[in-house]
């Protein structure tokens, strides 16, 4: 099973990197760009076939390590 | 005063911290490998600067999960003094021992330069040898020192007198909230700060403003 | 097995004659794996086939040189059983393709060269050449290279203490990233790469091998064309975290006596490291690729042998010491595997999946590698006297010069480098030489990198002389005794006689100064084929130099320190404007001859200045270089936040006097009460010295010419780089 | 329209961050973890309604700025 975890800043947390990207895109002439936010995507290969179990494991990983829940939120996608 | 310095994989100010401690306490600190599960019997633990685990994922995140950190946490709760410098501060926030987080510098670049700091609190084992309001200069060297917390937390920190060091107005190198450079835990026995006091303990390096911090600890903990 | 066609041989960068020689050495045609091995070992990058004959002319010995060129880095004695270990290396081509990772892995590579010798790296320098600032790619390259150098060095916890940066259109398609690493060790704990003896285990340590940068060595040896960007050669990604662990683990292993020989895996990875170790040790080697730690699946022998995955080392141990070594590497969570043994057959043998995939006499890969006497034409030096407008307002020119790309403050760069980690940096970036204390002592190393490529283009011989002399002068200005240099020879295509002529003349120029100043070459690196679409870069023989400050309490810095100090100029000022920055920035002309260095005067002047510093009488010194006298004085004033008032030299024209780039000069400031005596001493020693003026106030004032505030100068000086880079795209991150 | 861009390292390119995360997860006792790769996710608000046009614009952004195509690859998802 493959898990994809998205870790992004919570709404309302300032995202200087996203802002800088937006700024740079404008500078390159992409006028249609509105807000930009940057986050992380973490792809994990998992030796676990059961989807519910896999989700529980990945959730635990997020809470323990992958996200800093003070400022970040996460989403989990499973595949396979 | 007996002290220890925790060495994480890719800590790189562990030696600098040890040199400063030895110079100012007269005793060599114990160097403790992150994989150990128990601290030796000491009065002070230093989490040094560096790039523990390459600063990958988030600065300090993986180091905060090191086996030794469980013991550091337990003993800190019982009152052990803990000093986290730079990467060590990041480890302390990631470990939940100090509130808030250290985000990427506002200018998104690593910054290394001397900064002016105001000593805001002298009611602590770390700062009793400074004058309240004293202006000191320590170097910073970090890419993620932008202290961020929600307004309520910031208000509480200020209200409880836990903001110990503040960047002097106009000299905030990373965009941190309310110019915060260093904060105390609720019990005031854990200090995390981004600037490096251990790099200004020797006049040949351009200053000795860091010495009173270690001298305070010696006085308070001996 | 892949058939060896002439096309395939050509694609491996081997000429038909070289291929014929390979067949002769083997007594048969090589197989595909062997062809790959020969192609990297006989590449310009690994074999130095164009330069080797010329490099022999470089003086490499002195009583204090413990290891000259030929090992991973040079070693010099700095007293009390301490040694300094250093080398400079280029990572030009990769940095152009992927600036962050190219520069980062360049830093990682040169650090490994130093710690593989048993030294702990204590300082990094970087010599950077970018194209015209307005070139569309340049901001991206500048921000990427700087972030990459910082990203790697900062994580390693080794201070990056200085370097140099130039902009010139000749580097538009071919920037130069030269990094220098200086380490410290004990004289009796130096490790070398000769794999002596048979039956010793060969161990692999560090990161796993992937398909990274295969043919990086041949890429570094081939001229760039616009479409090499399209080909997207694999660029390696650096992992400074692993390198930091590798450093600590290697130093821990080196504290035992288990090691026979050790060598980093740099260009041409496993092949070059193992073949070189066998060659130096006069032994043979058998490698079993099945045991190589691999990151990817189904790697072929060819790929494993040519991979340039970073953060790897190869060591030969004493028999029976494997377990002890393995314990150390496991503690640091690094890969460790015994992948072969040394033999007494003098053959380089590789096994994979039970088969012998290569079997080559070791000497065929090393001593038998081709050496070329390429035809060269030495160009006549340009000697014209450039014309200039004598009526240009001098103060305005000063403000413009001090804020120009080549003279403005590099703060934007060095604030991104951790220059104070290790708590021994006693002179931070910004001065003449960086000064790093030898930990736990009062001794210090002074370090600098220098070259003025525009001089080298006008006159390769004098230009190269100037580079070494300026390095010597920079060390001297800090109060150090210059000891030795490393060089990084960056040139165009050596198959062109005029480029080969530049190389030969520059090497002659370097050699002459080394001899005259007892300043030998102990290590170096050559980077050739720095061309884009047939246009070569300016000849750029970058010199990295190291000197010793015996007592760090007696050291000088450029910053003015006291009011009313006398300002004294040492050395003769003729007003040489040829190839000066003044001409380029103010007159828009890049012409005239290079300034000439008088080596006897150089030595006299330097010894005089150093003597004053060592005696404790002098703490404020700056050498006069790019931009000339007035620029040097301005730098001293800005450094100290204090002004100066000077008189114009009596006979001289103000412009050449203020901005001429005559060599062998120093400016210093000392208490006025000392001035007369010092001037008399200089006169006695036959050294031109004039009292130029005195310190004080908040402006630079030139009698009869005009004045300008230090604030205005500082603003101009600090503005250019941040202004230029504020239009940068995103700062790259790892 | 909202665009989500994934920027990940090309296959075969060393991913030091992913490697370290995988290692840390093992250290935390997550034994089922195989390979881990880390990338970036960039969310962009776009003032463009036409899906084909939006895709073309975002592709250009990726080529010009968001991805370093020497070592990275990208995927684009559009929504709205
Ligand atoms: N320009 C040069 N001047 C002096 N020595 C050089 C020069 N170029 C290379 N060398 C020496 O040749 C040897 C091989 O260099 P190189 O292939 O760059 O080493 P490595 O494989 O360790 O990177 C080294 O000992 C180096 O110091
Ligand atoms: Mg080497």
Domains and CATH numbers, chain B: 3-221 (3.40.50.880)
Catalytic site residue C605? Answer: no
Mean pLDDT confidence for C38-47? 93
Cβ pair C143, C728 in contact under 8 A = yes
| D68 contacts in chain C (CB < 8 Å) | 98, 100, 732
The alpha carbon of residue C14 is apart from the nearest alpha carbon of chain B, in Å, by: 40
Cβ pair C107, C149 in contact under 8 A = yes
Closest CA to C348 of C365, C336, C335, C333: C365
Counting ligands in written order, which one lies closest to the CA of residue C540? 1
Return the exposure string of B200-210: e unless at least 16 CB atoms fall within 10 Å of the residue's CB, then b. Answer: bbbebbbbebb
Catalytic site residue B86? Answer: yes
CATH placement of domain A2-79: 3.30.1280.10
Return the exposure string of C332-356: e unless at least 16 CB atoms fall within 10 Å of the residue's CB, then b. Answer: bebbbbebbbbbebebbbbbbeeee
Asked if the model's pLDDT at residue C227 lies above 70, the reply is no
- C-alpha–C-alpha distance, residues C499 and C539, integer Å: 8
- C-alpha–C-alpha distance, residues C627 and C29, integer Å: 58
- C-alpha–C-alpha distance, residues B78 and C437, integer Å: 40
Cβ pair C313, C247 in contact under 8 A = no
Asked if the model's pLDDT at residue C226 lies above 60, the reply is no
Q: Which tens digits make up the pLDDT trace of C86-131?
A: 999 999 999 999 999 999 999 999 999 999 999 999 999 999 999 9
The alpha carbon of residue C294 is apart from the nearest alpha carbon of chain D, in Å, by: 11
- C-alpha–C-alpha distance, residues B79 and B218, integer Å: 16
Q: Is the CB of C335 under 6 A from ligand 1?
A: no
DSSP codes joined into one string, C549-599: ES-TTS--BSS--STTEEEEEES------TT-HHIIIII----SPPPPP-H
Cβ pair C586, C400 in contact under 8 A = yes
Cβ pair C668, C621 in contact under 8 A = yes
Cα dihedral: C514, C520, C523, C528 (round 10): 10
- C-alpha–C-alpha distance, residues B215 and B212, integer Å: 5
Cβ pair C349, C285 in contact under 8 A = yes
Asked if the model's pLDDT at residue C218 lies above 70, the reply is no
- C-alpha–C-alpha distance, residues C579 and C467, integer Å: 14
Question: CA angle, corner B184, sides to B180 and B187, nearest 5?
Answer: 155
Check residue C648 and give its pLDDT.
Answer: 74
Check residue C223 and give its pLDDT.
Answer: 55
Mean pLDDT confidence for D22-41? 95
Closest CA to C42 of C364, C431, C477: C364
Return the exposure string of A4-13: e unless at least 16 CB atoms fall within 10 Å of the residue's CB, then b. Answer: bbbbbbeeeb
Check residue C655 and give its pLDDT.
Answer: 93
Q: Is the CB of C106 under 6 A from ligand 1?
A: no
Q: How confident is the model at residue C653 (pLDDT cuts 50, 70, 90)?
A: confident
Check residue C219 and give its pLDDT.
Answer: 52
Q: Is some CB atom of chain B closer than 8 A to the CB atom of C116?
A: no
Q: Is some CB atom of chain C closer than 8 A to the CB atom of A25?
A: no
Mean pLDDT confidence for C615-640? 97
The label of the residue with tokens 């390693």 reads C156
Check residue C294 and give its pLDDT.
Answer: 96
Give, using CA atoms, the residue closest to atom 27 of ligand 1.
Answer: C523
Q: How confident is the model at residue C234 (pLDDT cuts 50, 70, 90)?
A: low
Contact C236 D14 (CB under 8 A): yes
Of the candidate ranges A31-45, C212-226, C243-257, C633-647, the one whose mean pLDDT is the lowest: C212-226
DSSP codes joined into one string, D25-77: HHHTT-TTEEEEEEEEEEEEEES---HHHHHHHHHHHIIIII--TTTEEEEEE
Q: Radius of gyration (Cα) for chain A, nearest Å?
A: 16
Q: Which tens digits make up the pLDDT trace of C670-708?
A: 999 999 999 999 999 999 999 999 999 999 999 988 999
Mean pLDDT confidence for C430-442? 95
Q: Is the CB of C242 under 6 A from ligand 1?
A: no
Which of the residues in chain B have pLDDT under 50?
A: none
Q: Is the CB of C269 under 6 A from ligand 1?
A: no
- C-alpha–C-alpha distance, residues D17 and D14, integer Å: 9
Whole-number percent of chain C with pLDDT over 70? 96
Return the exposure string of C138-161: e unless at least 16 CB atoms fall within 10 Å of the residue's CB, then b. Answer: bbbbbbbbbbbbbbbbbbbbbbbb
Q: What three-state secondary structure class fits C620? A: strand
Active-site residue, from C12, C45, C168, C622: C45
Cβ pair C45, C397 in contact under 8 A = no
Q: Is some CB atom of chain B closer than 8 A to the CB atom of C477?
A: no
ipTM of the complex: 0.94
Q: Which tens digits make up the pLDDT trace of A9-26?
A: 999 898 989 999 999 999
Q: What mean pLDDT is reported for chain B?
A: 97
A14-18: long-range contacts at Cβ-Cβ below 8 A with a sequence spacing of 24 or more? Answer: A14/B103, A14/B148, A16/B103, A16/B104, A16/B106, A16/B108, A16/B146, A16/B175, A17/B104, A17/B108, A17/C730, A18/D42, A18/D43
Q: Which tens digits make up the pLDDT trace of C188-210?
A: 999 999 999 999 999 999 999 99
The alpha carbon of residue D69 is apart from the nearest alpha carbon of chain A, in Å, by: 17
Helices (H), chain B: 14-25, 67-77, 87-94, 151-159, 211-221
Between C11 and C548, residue with greater pLDDT? C548
Q: What mean pLDDT is reported for chain C?
A: 94
How far is the centre of ligand 2, averaged over its atoms, from the C-alpha of C558 (Å)? 36
Q: Which tens digits make up the pLDDT trace of C557-606?
A: 999 999 999 999 999 999 999 999 999 999 999 999 999 999 999 999 99
Among candidates D16, D20, D38 on the partner chain, residue whose Cβ is nearest the Cβ of B62 = D20
Return the exposure string of C702-724: e unless at least 16 CB atoms fall within 10 Å of the residue's CB, then b. Answer: beebeebebeebbebbbebbeeb
Q: Which tens digits make up the pLDDT trace of C348-387?
A: 999 999 999 999 999 999 999 999 999 999 988 888 889 9
Closest CA to C659 of C670, C644, C648: C648
Cβ pair C126, C179 in contact under 8 A = yes
Of the candidate ranges C257-266, C500-509, C528-537, C640-649, the one whose mean pLDDT is the lowest: C640-649
Q: How confident is the model at residue C65 (pLDDT cuts 50, 70, 90)?
A: very high
Q: How confident is the model at residue C221 (pLDDT cuts 50, 70, 90)?
A: low
Asked if the model's pLDDT at residue D57 lies above 80, the reply is yes
Counting ligands in written order, which one lies closest to the CA of residue C264? 2
pTM: 0.95
The total of other beta-carbon atoms located within 10 Å of residue A22's CB is 21
Counting ligands in written order, which one lies closest to the CA of residue C69? 1
Burial of C61 (0-12, 13-18, 19+ CB in 10 A): exposed
Check residue C430 and give its pLDDT.
Answer: 86
Closest CA to C413 of C688, C128, C690, C615: C128
Among C47, C69, C70, C540, which is best to mutate for testing ligand 1, by the most ligand atoms less than 8 A from CB?
A: C69
- C-alpha–C-alpha distance, residues C539 and C536, integer Å: 8
The total of other beta-carbon atoms located within 10 Å of residue C412's CB is 21
Q: Which tens digits make up the pLDDT trace of C136-190?
A: 999 999 999 999 999 999 999 999 999 999 999 999 999 999 999 999 999 999 9
Whole-number percent of chain B with pLDDT over 70? 100
What are residue C162's DSSP bridge partners?
A: C125
- C-alpha–C-alpha distance, residues A65 and C379, integer Å: 63
- C-alpha–C-alpha distance, residues C465 and C456, integer Å: 9
Asked if the model's pLDDT at residue C231 lies above 80, the reply is no
Question: How many CB pairs lie under 8 A apart between chains B and C?
Answer: 92
Mean pLDDT confidence for C454-467? 97
Active-site residue, from C12, C54, C91, C717: C91
Give, using CA atoms, the residue closest to atom 2 of ligand 1.
Answer: C524
């Amino acid at each position: 099973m493959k898990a994809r975890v998205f870790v992004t800043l919570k709404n309302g947390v300032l995202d200087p990197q996203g802002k800088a990207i937006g700024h740079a895109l404008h500078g390159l002439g992409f006028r249609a760009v509105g807000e930009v936010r940057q986050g992380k995507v973490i792809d994990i290969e998992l030796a676990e076939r059961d989807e519910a179990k896999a989700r529980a494991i990945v959730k635990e990983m997020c809470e323990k390590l992958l996200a800093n829940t003070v400022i970040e939120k996460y989403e989990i996608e499973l595949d396979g | 005063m007996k002290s220890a310095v925790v060495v994480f994989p890719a800590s790189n100010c562990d030696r600098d911290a040890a040199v400063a401690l030895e110079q100012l306490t007269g005793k060599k600190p114990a160097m403790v490998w992150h994989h150990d599960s128990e601290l030796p019997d000491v009065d002070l633990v230093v989490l040094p600067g560096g790039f523990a685990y390459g600063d990958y994922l988030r600065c300090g995140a993986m180091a905060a999960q090191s086996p030794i950190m469980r013991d550091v946490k337990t003993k800190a709760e019982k009152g052990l003094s803990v000093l986290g410098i730079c990467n060590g501060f990041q480890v302390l926030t990631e470990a939940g021992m100090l509130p808030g987080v250290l985000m990427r510098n506002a200018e998104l670049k690593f910054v290394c330069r001397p900064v002016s700091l105001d000593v805001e609190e002298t009611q602590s084992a770390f700062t009793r040898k400074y004058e309240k309001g004293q202006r000191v200069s320590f170097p910073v060297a970090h890419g993620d020192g932008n202290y961020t917390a929600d307004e309520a937390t910031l208000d509480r920190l200020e209200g409880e007198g836990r903001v110990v060091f503040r960047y002097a107005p106009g000299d905030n190198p990373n965009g941190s909230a309310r110019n915060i450079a260093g904060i105390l835990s609720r019990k005031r026995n854990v200090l995390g700060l981004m600037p490096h006091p251990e790099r200004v303990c020797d006049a040949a390096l351009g200053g000795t403003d860091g010495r009173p911090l270690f001298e305070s600890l010696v006085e308070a903990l001996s | 097995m892949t058939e060896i066609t002439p096309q395939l041989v050509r694609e491996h960068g081997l000429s038909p004659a070289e291929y014929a020689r390979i067949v002769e050495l083997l007594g048969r045609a090589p197989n595909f794996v062997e062809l790959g091995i020969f192609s990297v070992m006989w590449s310009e990058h690994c074999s130095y086939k164009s330069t080797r004959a010329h490099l022999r002319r470089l003086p490499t010995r002195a009583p204090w040189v413990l290891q000259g060129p030929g090992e991973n880095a040079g070693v010099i004695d700095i007293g009390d059983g301490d040694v300094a270990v250093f080398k400079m290396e280029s990572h030009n081509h990769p940095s152009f393709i992927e600036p962050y990772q190219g520069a980062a892995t360049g830093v990682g590579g040169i650090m490994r060269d130093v710690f593989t010798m048993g030294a702990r790296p204590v300082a990094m320098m970087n010599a950077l050449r970018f194209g015209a600032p307005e070139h569309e790619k340049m901001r991206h390259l500048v921000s990427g290279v700087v972030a990459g150098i910082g990203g790697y060095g900062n994580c390693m916890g080794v201070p990056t203490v200085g370097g140099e940066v130039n902009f010139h259109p000749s580097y538009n398609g071919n920037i130069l990233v030269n990094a220098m690493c200086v380490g410290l060790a004990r004289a009796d704990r130096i490790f070398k790469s000769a794999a002596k003896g048979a039956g010793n285990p060969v161990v692999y340590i560090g990161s796993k091998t992937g398909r990274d940068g295969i043919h990086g060595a041949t890429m570094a040896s081939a001229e760039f064309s616009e479409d090499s960007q399209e080909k997207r050669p694999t660029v390696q990604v650096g992992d400074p975290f692993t390198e930091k662990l590798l450093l600590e683990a290697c130093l821990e292993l080196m504290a035992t006596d288990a090691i026979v020989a050790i060598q980093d895996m740099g260009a041409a990875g496993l092949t070059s490291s193992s073949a070189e170790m066998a060659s130096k040790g006069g032994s043979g080697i058998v490698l079993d690729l099945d045991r190589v730690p691999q990151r990817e699946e189904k790697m072929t022998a060819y790929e494993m042998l040519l991979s340039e995955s970073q953060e790897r080392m190869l060591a030969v141990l004493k028999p029976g010491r494997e377990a002890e070594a393995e314990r150390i590497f496991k503690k640091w969570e690094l890969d460790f595997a015994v992948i072969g043994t040394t033999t007494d057959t003098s053959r380089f043998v590789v096994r994979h999946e039970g088969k012998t995939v290569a079997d080559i006499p070791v000497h065929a890969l090393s001593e038998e590698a081709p050496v070329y006497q390429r035809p060269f034409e030495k160009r006549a030096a340009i000697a014209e006297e450039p014309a200039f407008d004598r009526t240009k307002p001098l103060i305005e020119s000063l403000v413009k010069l001090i804020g120009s790309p080549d003279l403005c403050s590099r703060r934007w760069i060095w604030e991104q480098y951790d220059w104070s980690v290790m708590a021994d940096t006693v002179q931070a970036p910004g001065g003449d030489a960086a000064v790093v204390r030898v930990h736990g002592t009062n001794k210090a190393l002074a370090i600098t990198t220098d070259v003025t490529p525009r001089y080298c283009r006008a006159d390769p011989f004098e230009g190269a002389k100037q580079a070494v002399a300026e390095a010597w002068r920079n060390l001297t200005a800090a109060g150090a005794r210059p000891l030795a240099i490393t060089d990084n020879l960056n040139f165009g295509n050596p198959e062109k006689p005029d480029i080969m002529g530049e190389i030969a003349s520059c090497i002659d120029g370097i050699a002459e100064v080394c001899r005259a100043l007892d300043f030998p070459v102990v290590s170096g690196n050559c980077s050739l084929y720095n061309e884009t679409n047939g246009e070569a870069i300016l000849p750029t023989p970058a010199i990295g130099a190291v000197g010793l400050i015996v007592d760090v309490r007696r050291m000088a810095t450029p910053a003015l320190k006291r009011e009313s100090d006398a300002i004294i100029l040492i050395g003769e000022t003729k007003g040489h404007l040829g190839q000066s920055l003044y001409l380029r920035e103010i007159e828009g002309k890049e012409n005239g001859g290079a300034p000439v260095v008088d080596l006897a005067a150089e030595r006299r002047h330097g010894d005089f200045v150093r003597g004053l510093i060592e005696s404790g009488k002098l703490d404020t010194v700056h050498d006069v270089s790019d931009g000339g006298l007035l620029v040097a004085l301005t730098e001293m004033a800005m450094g100290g936040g204090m002004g100066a008032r000077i008189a114009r030299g009596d006979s001289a024209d103000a412009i050449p006097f203020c901005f001429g780039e005559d060599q062998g000069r120093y400016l210093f400031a000392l208490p006025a009460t000392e001035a007369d005596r010092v001037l008399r001493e200089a006169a006695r020693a036959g050294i031109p010295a004039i009292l130029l003026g005195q310190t004080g106030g908040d402006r630079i004032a030139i009698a009869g010419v005009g004045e300008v505030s230090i604030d205005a100068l500082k603003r101009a000086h600090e503005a250019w780089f941040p202004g230029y880079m504020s239009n940068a795209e995103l700062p790259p991150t790892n």
